[in-house]
Structure formats: structure tokens, C-alpha cells
Amino acid sequence: MPGLIAVLPEGVLAAAATTGALSAQTAGHAAEVLGVGAVVPPGAEEISAANAARITAHAGQVSGVLAAAGVIKGLYGVSAGLSAATYLIGDAINDVALVGSVAGLI
């Protein structure tokens, strides 16, 4: 037997705003990783240069993953905000219809 689902659109809007903030924070971390990955080889030998290049390449990959995650979080926040707006509009329409039907009974 299916149950009822109660949705508080205001809570969903708050979650959407928080998700948007997390998206921006993730984008900031993506930029920070590039700075951390800017490694100067500690020595002049070939191994130091190779390790520094690996660290820089890995930082670039991590930055790319974080940037993509930030975009996905941002899209999720937009989607949640649109869902909350849809609930609010639906509730408003139902309120108008209910008031109209109750007025017709009086």
C-alpha cells in the first residue's frame, strides 16, 4: 500500500541553497588543488623532475574531478530549487481550487 509523502518546500529550498554553496566551495577546492600541485623538483636529478611532474599531473586530474563534481552539485541544487518551486506552485493552485470549491458550497 503506497504511503503519503510530506514535502516541505521551504526545507527543499534551503537544501538547494546549501547545495549551491557547496558547489561553489567545491569549485574553489578544484582551483586550490592546482596550486598545491605546482611542485618544484627538490633536486636537479631526473627522478626529482619525474616525481614533480607526476604530482602536477595528479593534481590536474584531481582538479578536473572536483570541477566536475562542483558542476553536478550545482545542477542538483538547481533541480532541487525547481522542484520546491513546483511544489509551491502546485500548493497555491490547490489552495485556490479549494477556496473556490468551498465558496461554492456557502
So what's the architecture of 10-105 in CATH? Orthogonal Bundle (1.10)
Q: Give me the pLDDT at residue 7, please.
A: 85
Nearest to 16 by CA among 102, 88, 95, 96: 88
Phi, psi of 37 (to 5 degrees): -80, -5
Query: The whole model's pTM is what?
Result: 0.74
Type of residue at 104:
G
Q: Give me the pLDDT at residue 2, please.
A: 72
Q: What is the largest CA-CA distance in the chain?
A: 92
92: buried, middle or exposed (CB in 10 Å: 19+, 13-18, 0-12)? exposed
Query: How crowded is the C-beta side of 18, counted as CA atoms within 13 Å?
Result: 6
Nearest to 71 by CA among 14, 19, 35: 19
List, for residues 12-68, the tens digit of each pLDDT value. 999 999 999 999 999 999 999 988 888 888 888 999 999 999 999 999 999 999 999
List, for residues 81-96, the tens digit of each pLDDT value. 999 999 999 989 988 8
